[in-house]
């Protein structure tokens, strides 16, 4: 897909971190960006930075865990800029540092509502519109390197579970959209210098409201000084033009996936030995 000046984009989680990096990178290419975030003040700051740099943007409040909120946000962006041809379902939250059996029902609803339902709501709302335009379009769903393996050193299984789901959703969507002009990418970064460890400050009232989760905060030190969101944003823009399905940002993490694949291969080999014994 060729990114052209004047196109319209929809970026959730655009108020900070990777979402801001993507929004700024698109704006530098002349794309008009709807910066969508549950924290409208953060979205406004990203839009301000775009406008100061000479770009075009509007901030939009959205709670991606609610379908109607996503539909309203999409309508707002399309009213301002016309048909959306680039959609980045990027909003996500961290839920780290707690064993699975200790996670509360409210926190399960929160992490699933944002990280999985948020992507589903973006797909439900935007794919029919993109198909109807019969123009080249592209969707980027933000997963994580945690969507391809579960890190054994941290209690991040709940987060990884949701990101595995984003990978499966996106691979399925990619398969279903073959033969159309709508492309799909899966963004799978590792350590990026963001404020994802402060996700709990944005928890909506219906899911328990803003809180403090000190269990998340170890990530702040780990992420400090890591890859910048702007670098990830530029990588995403290039991947859209190249129509890449997988967008990996940290080549060194390949060894993590190699270890997982080796364990799977060993299990298949064991299954083959078992089958041979039966025969």
Active-site annotation holds for 159: yes
From the candidates 159, 164, 246, 274, which is the catalytic residue? Answer: 159
Q: What are phi and psi of 59, to 5 degrees?
A: -90, 145
Q: Which residue has the tokens 């794309």?
A: 31
Cα(279)–Cα(264) distance, integer angstroms: 23
Q: Taking the mean position of all CA atoms in its chain, how far away is CA 198? A: 16
Report the b/e string of 158-193 with b at 16+ CB within 10 A: bbbbbbbbbbebbeebbeebeeeebbbbbbbbbbbb
Contact partners, residue 71, CB within 8 Å, separation at least 6: 121, 125
Q: Compute the Cα dihedral for 215, 187, 90, 178 and give only its sign.
A: negative
Q: What is the dihedral of CA 251, 229, 78, 63, to 10 degrees?
A: 100
E-strand ranges in 20-155 read 32-37, 57-61, 84-89, 137-142
- Cite the active site residues: 159
């Amino acid at each position: 897909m060729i990114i052209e000046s004047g196109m319209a984009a929809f970026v959730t989680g655009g108020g900070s971190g990777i979402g801001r990096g993507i929004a700024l990178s698109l704006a530098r290419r002349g794309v008009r960006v709807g910066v969508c975030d549950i924290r409208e003040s953060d979205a406004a700051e990203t839009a301000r930075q775009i406008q100061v740099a000479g770009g075009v943007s509007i901030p939009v409040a959205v709670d991606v865990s609610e379908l109607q909120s996503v539909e309203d946000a999409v309508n707002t962006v399309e009213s301002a800029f016309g048909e959306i041809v680039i959609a980045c379902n990027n909003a996500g939250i961290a839920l780290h540092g707690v064993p699975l059996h200790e996670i509360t029902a409210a926190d399960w609803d929160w992490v699933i509502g944002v990280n999985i339902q948020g992507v589903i709501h973006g797909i439900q709302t935007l794919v029919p519109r993109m198909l109807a335009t019969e123009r080249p379009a592209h969707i980027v769903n933000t997963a994580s390197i945690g969507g391809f393996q579960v890190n054994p050193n941290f209690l991040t299984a709940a987060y990884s579970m949701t990101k595995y789901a984003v990978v499966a959703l996106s691979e399925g969507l990619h398969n279903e959209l073959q033969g159309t002009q709508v492309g799909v990418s899966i963004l799978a970064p590792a350590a990026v210098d963001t404020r994802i460890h402060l996700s709990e400050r944005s928890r909506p009232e219906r899911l328990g409201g803003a809180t403090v989760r000190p269990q998340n905060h170890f990530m702040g030190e780990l992420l400090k000084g890591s890859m910048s969101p702007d670098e990830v944003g530029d990588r995403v823009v290039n991947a859209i033009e190249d129509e890449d399905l997988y967008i990996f940002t940290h080549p060194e993490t390949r060894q993590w996936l190699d270890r997982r694949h080796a364990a799977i291969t060993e299990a298949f080999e064991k299954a083959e030995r078992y089958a041979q014994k039966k025969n």
